[in-house]
Every structure is written in C-alpha cells, then in structure tokens.
Amino acid sequence: MQPIKGPSATKPFTQISMDLITDLPPSDGYDAILSIVDHGLTKGIILTPTRKTATADDIAEMLINKVFSKYGTPQKIISDRDPRFAAKSMQRLYEKLNIKPAFSTAYHPQTDGTTERYNQEIEFYLAVYTSRNPNTWRRALPMIEFVHNTKPHAGRQHSPSELILGYNPKAFINKEESNVPSIEEKTLFLEQAREAAIKAHEQARLKMASRSNQPWSALKVGDRVWLDNRNLPVPYASKKLSQRREGPFRVIRRTSPTTYKLELRKRWKIHNKFHASLLTPIVENDIYGKHNPQPPPTLVSGEEEYEVEAILNHRVRKRHLGNGRLVLRP
C-alpha cells in the first residue's frame, strides 16, 4: 500500500480528513464526534456532535451542512475504511461532486505522517476534554473548536481563523456580572469551557511533541497499563501530589488506532475509554517479575480508604489498669 500524498491546497477545506470519534461519555444524548480537519491550508477543525449509530446518510448530511455549504466541495477527503465512509451512497456523493476519496486502513493508516500525527493530536485534545468534562462536552463543543481554531499550529505562523477569516475572533470573556441569571450562567459556562479547552489543547500539544521523538507500539487486549490520572474527574484521581497515575488496569478492547477501553474498578463510575497517550504499559523484568502495586483508594467523605482483602495475623495486648481490671486490646 502506497502512502497517501500530503496536501498542497491553497484554499481552506479543499483537502480534508474526517474521523468518527466514538464511545464518548454520553452528553445530551450524544456519544460521538465527527471531526473534520483542513489538512490543505489552515489546520482548522470542524466538530459536530453525533451518535455512534450514525449512518452514511447522516455523515453525508453533516458534510453538506458543515463543510460544503460554507467552503464549497473539497477536492479530496481522507478517512479510514469505516463502513459508513466507504458506503455506496458516499461513493455516489463523491462521484457526483467530483471529490477524490483517499482511504487508509483503520489500524495501519498510510496517510502522510503529518496528517496522521495531527489527527492523533486532535483526538487526544478531545479525549482530554471529554474525560475531564464527561457530562457537558456536547455543550462545550463550539468552544473546543473555537480554542483550536484561534491558536497557531506546527508549520503555520497564523491560526486557522486568521487564515480563513483574516483575523482572530474575539474570545468570550465574562468581565461584568449580569442581572439576568440565565445570561450569567451561559457566559460563565463559556468562560470555564474556554479555560478547560486551553489546558486540554496545551496538554495535547506537549504530549504529541514528546511522542514525536519516542517509539510507540500498539497495546494488545490483556496488556496491563498505568493510567495518567491528571484527566480523571475528582474524586477518582489520587489527591497525592506524587501519584500521577493509577492502576494497573487491563486493556479489554481497542476501539481505534489510538484509543482503548480498560477494565476499571467497579466502584469507579466513569467512562472507561482512554487515549493511548494517557496509558503506560507495565514493564516486567527478570529481577522483580510482575509489578504488584497497591490498588487506588476509595474516597469516603473526602478521605482515602482502602478495602481490606485479608487479615494475615493478629496479636492481643494485655494492659492492667489496677483495681483488678484487665483490658484486652488488638
């Protein structure tokens, strides 16, 4: 299989990639995001909430409403071989609109290296935000898109918004309180969503920068891994400053080239899908063999408590208090 050639477009969204990011924490009835990335010029993104059960017709409608109606039809669309992307109805749409499809195998992508790395950075960005804000990500999606599109990216001196609009739109900043509660709530949410998105975006950028110089191999079902806890919502993340990871946990499913489902503890009522960048394989060695770390604690009224698995031994201490009294203490 030959690698797909890198883009050389001079107009926004004339060469794009699309990816369906699924198995997200349900938010307002949605559990997936259609991510559309401009790989030809701006590095801009268009994020649309959807469902894992979306059909090929649903995907086509999102493309028409979000891309074609605003930027015209692209010359090329890069995607994996998801049955919905490769469906006959999509092929007819491509033929009718003179769009060239460029497919890559889901677990062995042959897109150019820049495209693949950028797709992974976007996926990690979304994974960080949705894991930290599992119930509100759908509502915050426009702000997540806004933050990305107003920041410069690798190989570009200007942000996607500057390359598309000619300027960077003004950020949503709530400086004055409103006497209308509904307006105050909306502006406060936008400000908080923007701050959270900026943090997630920076973490994704740094993570991908560190990975660019490190070899990475895919995990397998059954592998045991550490989980980076900096994106876990409280109270699931350890409060100890020195403890930056939880686990180990077992990989039970690979849901995409870079995302995995873990077998978490039953008491953890959180979504169990995580980006590979948050996972560190457990390394065994000839001296110590398998790692056997203590399990993460349960938080009870804000205090860490551990479940007792077994009592291995006991001792009774005797203490005489005088007056013929004897106290037995464990």
Following DSSP, what letter does each residue of 16-78 receive, concatenated?
EEEEEE--PPPBTTB-EEEEEEETTTT--EEEEEE-TT--HHHHHHHHIIIIIHHH---SEEE
**Report field, pTM of the whole predicted structure over 0.75:** no
Count Cβ atoms below 10 Å from residue 240 Cβ, excluding itself. Answer: 10
| Range name among 82-86, 123-127, 133-137, 208-212 with the lowest pLDDT average | 208-212
278 or 9: which leads in pLDDT: 278
Q: Could you count the other beta carbons within 10 Å of the beta carbon of residue 42? A: 23
- Read off the pLDDT of each residue in 125-146 and give the average, rounded to a whole number: 88
Ranked by mean pLDDT, which of 96-100, 112-116, 178-182, 186-190 comes out on top?
96-100
Residue spans per domain, the chain: 15-211, 224-305
Any idea which fold 15-211 has?
A: Nucleotidyltransferase; domain 5 (3.30.420)
Instruction: Name the percent of the chain lying above pLDDT 90.
Output: 31
230/297 Cα distance (integer angstroms): 16
Decide: 230 and 274 in contact? Cβ < 8 Å.
no
Q: How far is CA 330 from the centre of its chain?
A: 49
Q: How does pLDDT run across 229-260, given as a tens digit for each residue?
A: 766 664 555 444 445 678 889 999 988 777 88
* Mean residue pLDDT across the chain: 78
Q: What is the pLDDT of residue 1?
A: 40
Rounded to whole angstroms, how far apart are CA atoms 44 and 16?
Answer: 10
286 pLDDT higher than 50 = no
Contact assessment for residue 141 and residue 224, using Cβ atoms and an 8 Å cutoff: no
> Is residue 188 very low, low, confident or very high in pLDDT (cuts 50, 70, 90)?
confident
Q: Taking the chain, what is the end-to-end CA distance rounded to the nearest angstrom?
A: 70
Length of the chain: 330
Query: Is residue 144's pLDDT more than 70?
Result: yes
Query: What was the pLDDT predicted at 107?
Result: 41
The amino acid sitting at 6 is G
For helices 181-211 and 137-149, the axis angle rounded to 10 degrees is 60
